[in-house]
Structures are given as C-alpha cells and as structure tokens.
C-alpha cells in the first residue's frame, strides 16, 4: 500500500492530508509536526486584537484525523531525508519509508542582528505559544517597542494599542510597508496608527539592543535610547529549508519547485511558506508567498499532483491585513507596474489599480473599513487572472461596476 508522508503540520500540511482523502487516496498518510498542538490557524495570532485562549483555532478536531486514517504525529522532528532510498529519519531514530513526500515546513521568524533570541524582554510571534506569552504582556501601563514596520509589526502595534499598551514602532526604511503597499495606502495606515497614539519612527538605524531585568533598551544611531517593557522583533520570516537543503534539493529563496510543486528530486513536493515557485501569470517569475490562502491553495494542488493529476499553479497572489477597523487587501504583484489608477469608494476607502506599460492590470491594492473593498478586490483578481487591459477611466469611476469590465 502506498505511503504518503507530509512534513509540516500547519495550514498547508494538514489541508493537504485531508485533500488526499477527499481525492480518493486510499493509502497510508503520515502527517508530522514539530509543535505539540494539532494543526491550527495562524492568522488569528496577530489580527484583530486577538485574545488567545489556552487552545488555538484548530483546523480540525483530532477525531477527524483518526476518522480519515491520517497518522498525525505531533511534537516530532524530522532530522533527515534520504531520497535515494525514499526514507525520512525522526529525532528518536525511527525511519519511515515514503512513496511520495510533501514538505510543508513553513517559515520561522527572522532574527535581528545582535539579538541572540527570545527572552523575558525580547519576543517574536510565530506560534500559538508565542501569542499567549505576548498577550500576557499587553496591558495598560506597558510600553511595547516593535522592530519592523511591516504587516506583522503593524498588526501587533494595533493589537497592543487596542489592549491599552503604549507602542513605539521602529522601522529602518523611509516609511512603513515599503515592500508591501503603495505610498497612498502606507500613508492611510500610518495616519490611523498615529491617530491611535502609536509612535512610528521611520528611517532609524539601530546600533545595539540591550536587556536588563526590567527593560529592553534599543540604542539608535541618533543617540536616542528607547526603553521598553517588551521588545517585539517583527521583521519578517525565513523559509524553513535546512532539511531540504541537506537532502540535496534545490534552494532558491525557499525550496525551489516547478509549476506543479515538484522539487528537484523525484517524488518530493513542497508547498506553502517554505517554497518558491514560478508564476506563469507574471512571465514565469519565481516568487515565495507567505499567506493563508496560498497555503490552502497549494495544499490542494500538492495533493492533486501527488496523485498524478499534473495540475499547474494558476492562482493570483492575494494577501490581507486587519488593523483596528481597517482592512487592507492586495491581489497580484504590483512591483513592476508603471501606472496607477485610483478608485475612491465610500467612507474614505479606495483601491489602487496597478498596470504595466501596455495597460495590463497587474495588481490591485485597497484599504477601507470592514469589507467595503472585498468585492472589488475579488473582481480585480479575476481581471488580473484574465490578463485584462481595462479602460483606465472605467477603473477610476466608482460608478462603473468592475463586473462589467470583466464581462467585456
């Protein structure tokens, strides 16, 4: 009987295991995770002023894994892969053979130079345990310093303020979200944080970080020292590739896969945060995406291709962030756009459409309260997938329904 092994019991790995069963795979499935908890959703760890309970939002109850005959092994580390004989080795010395192997090893919080790791006064956010510990430190009278003005740093800044803590965000680039969103959206986000009392410091160089029994101290090149009860490092994540690299798989900003999520070694696949892949929609450009929806989509695609379907990546990249009452959504990749068209909606919401030199829609970025932008971003996503060249005046006019442009 065939044995499929999945290394990584997060969003992608767990959903791939269930997708294999849904597609009719009757062989053995082993799902291996390093955390002691069953697979859970990660977005709630940072979004929406979270209040983590002793248990996170699980992807499925343990009974469902048993019902689907999925051998879920928690608190287990894979130490090596031997592609030549198609086995993996576990930390306790046990070896498992596989017919197909999926690596869904995710990513880890990026460390800041000069900071050895987490401690009583220095934290990161990647796991539910991190969230519970961090949550306990967010209350009125506490000063939280955050290194990094990206999505994770700003989401946590919003949460800390919603819980009454004082917050200082330290960003090395000239503005927040420099790599993620256009200037206009960054300005809107910055304004909202300032309105809530967050002290945002951009263009700052950190010379050193110290820690004593009571405070974390960030020394800036300007000579200023910022004292905080807790320092949060939120400067992105690095793909977990060590296991793959040691097994000889190609690495390129993650485990390199093709459009079918196949790695450089036969019968080994990779999906989710840990892998980089070519996007035909953008000329075969290789990208790596850290998003909830990408993990779900690639879980299904990996399962299909482990079963020989030969399906290719076709999804449009999509990302969202919740901060206070604002929701930001991005569809597509905007960094190669040369023209930008703005559509203003109600209550200060707006969408920016990003086009290339020929007028093709490459991406759309929007911000607004609640779900006001959701439908238009979804329609923009469909226009991007269709490689549409929509009329710019129609894009700008809120009276023109995007659905009509899709029909055209």
DSSP string, 186-230: HHHHHHHHHHTT-EEE-S--EEEEEE-SS-EEEEETTS-EEEESE
**Residue 408: per-residue pLDDT:** 76
Nearest CA to 271 out of 280, 282, 262 is that of 262
Inter-helix orientation angle 292-306/11-22, to 10°: 40
pLDDT one-digit tens code per residue, 141-153: 999 999 999 999 9
pLDDT confidence bin for 395, thresholds 50/70/90: very high
Beta bridge partners of 81: 88
Q: Tokens 């997708």 correspond to what residue?
A: 19
Q: Mean pLDDT, to the nearest integer, of 307-325?
A: 95
The Cα 173–Cα 310 span in angstroms is: 42
User: What does the block give as tokens for 162?
Assistant: 């919603």
Beta bridge partners of 29: 4, 70
Q: Interior CA angle at 215 toward 175 and 178, to 5°? A: 10
pLDDT confidence bin for 50, thresholds 50/70/90: low
User: What does the block give as tokens for 218?
Assistant: 């960030």
CA 287 to chain CA centroid, Å, is 13
Mean pLDDT of the chain: 94
Helices and strands of the chain, counted as H and E runs: 10, 26
pLDDT at residue 48 above 70?
no
The Cα 90–Cα 209 span in angstroms is: 37
Domain architecture of the chain: domains with CATH: 3-108+237-306 (3.50.50.60), 111-233 (3.50.50.60), 325-407 (3.30.390.30)
pLDDT at residue 54 above 60?
no
pLDDT confidence bin for 66, thresholds 50/70/90: very high
User: What does the block give as tokens for 405?
Assistant: 């442009």
């Amino acid at each position: 009987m065939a044995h499929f092994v999945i290394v990584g019991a997060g969003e992608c790995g767990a959903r791939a295991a269930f997708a294999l069963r849904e597609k009719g795979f009757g062989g053995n499935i082993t799902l291996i995770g390093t955390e002691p908890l069953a697979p859970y959703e990660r977005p709630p760890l940072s979004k929406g002023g979270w209040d983590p309970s002793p248990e996170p939002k699980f992807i499925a109850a343990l009974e469902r894994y048993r019902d689907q005959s999925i051998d879920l092994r928690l608190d287990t580390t894979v130490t090596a892969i031997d592609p030549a004989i198609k086995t993996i080795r576990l930390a306790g010395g046990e070896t498992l053979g596989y017919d197909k192997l999926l690596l869904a090893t995710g990513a880890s919080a990026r460390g800041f130079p000069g900071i050895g790791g987490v401690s009583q006064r220095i934290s990161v956010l990647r796991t539910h345990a991190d969230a519970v510990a961090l949550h306990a430190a967010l209350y009125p009278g506490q000063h939280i310093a955050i290194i990094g003005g990206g999505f994770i740093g700003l989401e946590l800044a919003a949460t800390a303020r919603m819980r009454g803590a004082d917050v200082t965000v330290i960003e090395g680039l000239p503005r927040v979200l420099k790599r993620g969103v256009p200037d206009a959206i960054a300005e809107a986000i910055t304004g909202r944080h300032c309105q809530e009392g967050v002290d945002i410091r951009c263009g700052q160089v950190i010379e050193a970080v110290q820690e004593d029994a009571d405070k974390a101290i960030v020394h800036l090149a300007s000579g200023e020292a910022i004292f905080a009860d807790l320092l949060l490092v939120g400067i992105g994540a690095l793909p977990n590739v060590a296991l793959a690299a040691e097994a000889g798989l190609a690495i390129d900003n993650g485990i390199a896969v093709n459009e079918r999520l196949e790695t450089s070694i036969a019968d080994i696949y990779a999906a989710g945060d840990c892998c980089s892949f070519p996007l035909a929609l953008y000329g075969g450009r290789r990208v790596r995406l850290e998003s909830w929806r990408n993990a779900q989509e690639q879980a299904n695609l990996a399962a299909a291709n482990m079963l020989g379907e030969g399906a290719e990546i076709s999804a449009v990249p999509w990302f969202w962030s919740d901060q206070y009452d604002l929701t930001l959504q991005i569809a597509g990749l905007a960094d190669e756009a040369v023209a930008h068209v703005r559509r203003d909606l109600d209550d200060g919401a707006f969408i920016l459409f990003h086009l290339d030199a020929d007028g093709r829609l490459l991406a759309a970025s929007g911000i607004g309260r609640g779900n006001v932008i959701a439908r238009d971003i979804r329609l923009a996503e469909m226009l991007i997938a269709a490689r549409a060249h929509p009329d710019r005046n129609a894009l700008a006019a809120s009276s023109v329904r995007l659905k009509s442009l899709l029909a055209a």
